[in-house]
Chain A
Amino acid sequence: MRFDQRHLLGIEALRPDEITTLLDLADKYVTLNRSRNKRSGILSGLTQVNMFFENSTRTQASFELAGKRLGADVMSMAMAASSIKKGETLVDTALTLNAMHPDLLVVRHPNSGAVDLLSQKVNCAVINAGDGRHEHPTQALLDALTIRRAKGRLHRLTVAICGDIAHSRVARSNLLLLHKMENRVRLIGPPTLMPAGIEAFGVEVYHDMAEGLRDADVVMMLRLQKERMDGGFIPSEREYFYRYGLDAEKLALARDDAIVMHPGPMNRGVEIDGTIADDINRSVIQEQVEMGVAVRMAAMDLLSRNLRARPTEVMA
Chain B
Amino acid sequence: MRPVLIENARLIDPEGDRVFAASVLMEKGVIAEIAEGDGPAPEGLRDRAPAEARIDANGRFLAPGIVDIGVKVCEPGERHKESYKTAGAAAAAGGVTTMVTRPDTDPVIDTPEALEFIRRRAQEAAPVRVLPMAALTKGRAGSEMTEIGFLMDAGAVAFTDCDRVIRDTRVLGRAMTYARSLGALVIGHPQEPGLSAGAAATSGKFASLRGLPAVSPMAERMGLDRDIALIEMTGVRYHADQITTARALPALERAKANGFDVTAGTSMHHLTLNELDVADYRTFFKVKPPLRAEEDRQAVIEAVRSGLIDVISSMHTPQDEESKRLPFEEAASGAVGLETLLPVLLRLYHSGDLDLPTLFRALSLNPSRRLALETGRMARGAPADLMLFDADKPLILDRFKLRSKSKNTPFDNARLQGRVLATFVGGKQVFAA
B323 to chain A, nearest CB (A): 10
**B182-207, CB < 8 A from A:** 203-207
Known pairs A113-B280, A116-B281; list 13 more (Cβ under 8 Å): A90-B326, A90-B327, A112-B210, A112-B211, A112-B212, A113-B210, A113-B327, A133-B211, A135-B211, A169-B211, A172-B209, A197-B203, A198-B205
B322 touches A111 (CB 8 A): no
Name the interface residues of B84-104: CB closer than 8 Å to any CB of A: none
Pick from A91, A134, A197 the residue with the most CB of B within 10 Å: A197
Nearest CB to that of A109 among chain B residues?
B327
Residues of B with C-beta under 8 A to A132: 211-212, 327, 329
A197 near B207: Cβ-Cβ < 8 Å? yes
Partner of A111, one of B204, B207, B216, B328: B328
Q: A residues 87-146 with Cβ under 8 Å of B? A: 89-91, 109, 111-114, 116-117, 131-135
Q: Is the CB of A89 within 8 A of B211?
A: no
Residues of B within 8 A of A12 (CB): 209
Whether a CB of chain B sits under 8 angstroms from the CB of A200 is yes
Q: Is the CB of A111 within 8 A of B327?
A: yes
A196 and B325 contact, Cβ closer than 8 Å, known pairs A111-B330, A113-B280: no
Tell me the minimal C-beta distance from B93 to chain A in angstroms: 31
Q: Whole-angstrom distance between the alpha carbons of A315 and B125 in the complex?
A: 52
CA distance A90 to B330 in the complex (A): 11
User: What is the number of residues of chain B that contact chain A, defined by CB distance less than 8 Å?
Assistant: 21
Q: Classify the interface of chain B: helix, strand, loop or mixed.
A: loop
Q: Which residues of A contact B207 (CB under 8 A)?
A: 195-197
Q: Which of A91, A111, A117, A198 is within 8 Å of B208, CB to CB? A: A198
Q: How far is the CA of A112 from the CA of B286 in the complex (A)?
A: 14
* B214, CB-defined interface residue at 8 Å: yes
* 6 nearest A-B pairs in the assembled complex, by CB-CB distance: A134-B211, A113-B281, A133-B211, A111-B327, A112-B211, A196-B203
- 0 or 1 for each of A2-29: is its CB under 8 Å from B? (1 = yes): 0000000000100000000000000000
A117 CA to B205 CA in the complex, in Å? 21
CB <8 Å contact, B204 and A117: no
CB <8 Å contact, B327 and A114: yes
Give the residue name and chain of the A residue nearest to B212 (CB): A112
For B324-356 the 0/1 string (1 means CB < 8 A from A) is 011111100000000000000000000000000
For chain A, the count of residues having a C-beta within 8 Å of the partner chain is 24
Q: Are B280 and A89 in contact (CB under 8 A)?
A: no
Complex Cα spacing A91 to B214, Å: 24
- Which residues of B lie under 8 Å from residue A90 when comparing CB positions? 326-327
Chain B residue, CB-CB nearest to A91: B325
Binding site for B on A (CB under 8 A): 12, 89-91, 109, 111-114, 116-117, 131-135, 169, 172, 195-198, 200-201
Q: Which of A12, A91, A112 has the most CB of B within 10 A?
A: A112
Whether the Cβ atoms of A117 and B281 lie closer than 8 Å is yes
B280: which A residues are within 8 A, CB to CB?
Answer: 113, 116
| Among B204, B205, B328, contact of A112 (Cβ-Cβ < 8 Å) | B328
> How far, in Å, is A96 (CB) from chain B's closest CB?
15
Contacts of B204 in A (CB 8 A): 196-197, 200
Tell me which residues across on chain A come within 8 A of B328, comparing CB atoms: 111-113
23 contacts between A and B (CB under 8 A): A89-B322, A90-B327, A91-B325, A109-B327, A111-B328, A112-B210, A112-B212, A114-B327, A117-B325, A133-B212, A172-B208, A172-B211, A195-B203, A195-B208, A196-B203, A196-B205, A196-B208, A196-B214, A196-B216, A197-B204, A197-B205, A198-B205, A201-B205
| CB neighbours of A89 from chain B (8 A) | 322, 325-326
- Chain B proximity of A90: nearest CB distance (Å): 6
The B208-227 residues at the A interface (CB cut-off 8 A) are 208-212, 214, 216
Residues from chain A with a CB closer than 8 A to the CB of B210 are 112-113, 134
CB-CB under 8 A from A116, the residues of chain B are 280-281
- How far apart are the CA atoms of A172 and B214 in the complex, in Å? 16
Please indicate the chain B residues that have their CB under 8 angstroms from the CB of A113 in the complex: 210-212, 280-281, 327-329
Q: Please report the C-alpha to C-alpha distance between residue A172 and residue B326 in the assembled complex, in whole angstroms.
A: 23
Chain A: which residue is nearest B200 at the CB level? A112
User: Is there an interface contact between A197 and B208, defined as CB atoms closer than 8 Å?
Assistant: yes
Complex Cα gap A116–B322 (Å): 17
Find out whether the CB atom of B209 lies under 8 angstroms from the CB atom of A111.
no
Q: Which residues of B contact A198 (CB under 8 A)?
A: 205, 208
Is the CB–CB distance between B211 and A131 below 8 Å?
A: yes
Which residues on the B side are within 8 Å of A133 (C-beta)?
A: 211-212
Output the least CB separation between A125 and chain B (Å): 17
Give the CA-CA distance A105 to B23 in the complex, in Å: 65
B24 CB, min distance to chain A CBs, angstroms = 50
* A172: B residues at CB distance < 8 A: 208-209, 211
What chain B residues lie within 8 Å of A200 (beta carbons)?
A: 204-205
Tell me, in angstroms, the Cα distance from A196 to B210 when the chains sit together. 12
Which residues of chain B from 287 to 312 have any CB-CB distance to chain A below 8 Å in the complex?
none
- A196-B204, A197-B203, A201-B205 are contacts. A117–B211 as well, Cβ < 8 Å? no
- Among A117, A195, A201, the residue within 8 A (CB) of B327 is A117
B216 closest partner in A (C-beta) = A196
Enumerate chain B residues within 8 angstroms of A197, measured Cβ to Cβ: 203-208
Q: Complex Cα distance A276/B16, Å?
A: 77
**Most chain-B Cβ atoms within 10 A of its Cβ — which of A109, A113, A133, A134?**
A113
- Bound together, the chains give a CA A34 to CA B257 distance in angstroms of 76
Bound CA–CA A198/B212 (angstroms)? 13
Q: How far is the CA of A220 from the CA of B188 in the complex (A)?
A: 46
Nearest-neighbour CB distance to chain B for A147, whole angstroms, equals 22
* Chain B residue at minimal CB-CB distance from A167: B211
CA distance A22 to B214 in the complex (A): 33
Return chain A residues, CB-CB under 8 Å to B203.
195-197
A116 and B278 CA atoms in complex are apart in Å by 13
Shortest distance in angstroms between A9's beta carbon and chain B's nearest beta carbon? 9
**Chain B residue with minimal CB distance to A115?**
B327
